[in-house]
Amino acid sequence: MSETAQNAAPAAPETGHGFELKTRRRWPFIVGGIVVIVAIAAAIIVPKLFVAASPNDTAGATLLVATAEGNASEEALVNFVAEKIAPKYGIKVAFKGLSDSNTINRGVSDGEIAGTVYQHKLWLGQVLTANPDFKEEAATPVFRWGFGLWSAKYKTPADIPNKGVVSLYSDPANEAQGLWILSDAGLITLKDGTGKGTATVADIATNPKNLEFKLLDFAAQSRALNDLDAAVGYTEYYLSAGIPIAQQIFAPAAPDEFAGQLTIGSDYATSENIKQLVKAFQDPEVQAFLSTDPTVKGILLPLAAK
């Protein structure tokens, strides 16, 4: 709008045709301004009139199942479903690795991605709280993550010394899972009524060894293990860092609250493609794969692991 004002014609020279000259100079700018406004409106409106259909609603389309880029075990699981299971249910599935979890979840919500298997219900709850415009839901549990207490210095939880430094993950859901592990190992107790998925260090009732807790992110924790007395974290991150499984000193199977879920877009839960995708991940062969395949063994555990 300001451009039109800036381009307004200067005062007409003192000639007998001053009014006519002024009229001719201003008219093209008025028309040009209208054309620009209409073009901008069209650019905004037209794409909304021609939104491509989601693969979730398109017969024969390839359904993308995304996880964090570089996660070999989850990629192996999705590829197994794509190659061995999906054809039984009349669908096509392909793996997609993405580096940002918000991108994955937004894609699932919007229907660009059919689903993901990289989060449990409690983690999904965090995502939805932080992004209330996302429309996602956990469709079915698929596996349990390998998750345990690690130490480069001690062989059992009981060996961890008084005032030892123990690391937990810095995100709330996995901090809670770490506290559940420490409680199960007998190192702490939690206040009565504390939920497995909501515990924080403020919910510790007793800490007999006066352990100090250090919150670190996924990659930093495994790198810092030699400087800690112990840490609670995912098996895959430690193995990826070259830390031997022998340094996992306590690893009970995760409770149901922490089972890895197939997460789908809520708007597509009744789409035929998505209903078949859920059935594919529920197929008994998936659990057999988790029990035996060396790519995932010890990292992604079958649901029956207790």
Question: Higher confidence at residue 228 or residue 9?
Answer: 228
For residues 26-51, average pLDDT = 41
* Ranges 4-13, 65-74, 88-97, 231-240, most confident: 88-97
Instruction: Tell me if 104 is assigned to some domain.
Output: yes
For residues 64-71, average pLDDT = 92
Whether residue 13 has pLDDT greater than 50: no
Q: How confident is the model at residue 50 (pLDDT cuts 50, 70, 90)?
A: very low
Q: How far apart are CA 104 and CA 113, in angstroms?
A: 8
Percent of the chain with pLDDT over 70: 83
Instruction: Tell me if 82 is assigned to some domain.
Output: yes
Question: Higher confidence at residue 21 or residue 59?
Answer: 59
Question: Higher confidence at residue 24 or residue 20?
Answer: 24
Q: How far apart are CA 264 and CA 32, in angstroms?
A: 47
| Same domain as 80, residue 42 | no
Write the pLDDT tens digit of every residue in 148-186: 999 999 999 999 999 999 999 998 889 999 999 999 999
Instruction: Tell me if 141 is assigned to some domain.
Output: no
| Same domain as 245, residue 274 | no
| Same domain as 44, residue 183 | no
| Same domain as 127, residue 95 | yes
At residue 197, the pLDDT reads: 82
Q: How confident is the model at residue 90 (pLDDT cuts 50, 70, 90)?
A: very high
| Same domain as 222, residue 77 | no
Tokens of 213: 């807790």
Whether residue 247 has pLDDT greater than 70: yes
| Same domain as 262, residue 130 | yes
Write the pLDDT tens digit of every residue in 68-84: 888 899 999 999 999 99
- Helix axes of 101-110 and 121-130: crossing angle, nearest 10 degrees: 80
Q: How confident is the model at residue 196 (pLDDT cuts 50, 70, 90)?
A: confident
| Same domain as 261, residue 123 | yes
Instruction: Tell me if 139 is assigned to some domain.
Output: no
| Same domain as 181, residue 151 | yes
Q: What are phi and psi of 192, to 5 degrees?
A: -55, 135
Instruction: Tell me if 140 is assigned to some domain.
Output: no
| Same domain as 161, residue 127 | no
At residue 177, the pLDDT reads: 92
| Same domain as 207, residue 152 | yes
At residue 51, the pLDDT reads: 46
Question: Higher confidence at residue 263 or residue 257?
Answer: 263
At residue 36, the pLDDT reads: 43
| Strand order across the beta sheet in which 62-68 lies | 92-98, 62-68, 115-120, 259-265, 136-145, 300-301
Question: Residue 279 is part of which domain span?
Answer: 55-134+257-301
Q: How far apart are CA 274 and CA 77, in angstroms?
A: 18
Question: Higher confidence at residue 153 or residue 19?
Answer: 153
Q: How far apart are CA 302 and CA 253, in angstroms?
A: 10
Instruction: Tell me if 161 is assigned to some domain.
Output: yes
Whether residue 20 has pLDDT greater than 60: no
Instruction: Tell me if 142 is assigned to some domain.
Output: no
| Same domain as 287, residue 249 | no
CATH classification of the domain holding 124: 3.40.190.10
At residue 5, the pLDDT reads: 41
Percent of the chain with pLDDT over 90: 72
| Same domain as 45, residue 60 | no
At residue 195, the pLDDT reads: 85
Please tell me the total count of domains within the chain.
Answer: 3
| N-to-C CA span, the chain | 67
Mean pLDDT, the chain, rounded, equals 86
Whether residue 16 has pLDDT greater than 90: no
Q: Whose CA is closest to 180, among 93, 91, 272, 255?
A: 255
At residue 306, the pLDDT reads: 67
Q: How confident is the model at residue 64 (pLDDT cuts 50, 70, 90)?
A: very high
Question: Higher confidence at residue 71 or residue 246?
Answer: 246
Question: Higher confidence at residue 300 or residue 297?
Answer: 300
* pTM listed for this prediction: 0.77
Instruction: Tell me if 306 is assigned to some domain.
Output: no
